[in-house]
Amino acid sequence: MGGAGGKSYMGWWGNMGSPTQRGVVTYLLSPFEQKPFAGALHNAIFNTARRTASQVPYVGVAFGIGYFIYSSANAKHAYLTSKAGHAEAEGH
């Protein structure tokens, strides 16, 4: 009645005797894209060190001013809570 007549070899996958397909696009990856994290740890360490070193002048100046204010305030507080500081405060 209209059925296929037995099993016959049509060819290897992709080459089965049919008309060639059109509009099929093939993409390839370069070796650099196949290893997206190649050198990432190395670059991260040195990039972080470079960026941190570039911020040291700004952070260092602010830290130095803050430490000077803190140490001056501690010294004045220690003086005012001492016997000499109490004696000076009573003179006002």
Mean pLDDT of all residues in 72-76: 97
Give the separation between CA 24 and CA 18, rounded to whole angstroms: 15
pLDDT recorded at residue 22:
80
> 52 falls in which pLDDT band (50, 70, 90)?
very high
With a pLDDT cut of 90, the percent of the chain lying above it is 47
What are the C-alpha distances in Å from 29 to residues 18, 24, 26, 44, 66? Answer: 29, 17, 10, 24, 53
pTM of the model: 0.49
pLDDT recorded at residue 72:
98
Is the pLDDT confidence value at 92 over 90? no
> 54 falls in which pLDDT band (50, 70, 90)?
very high
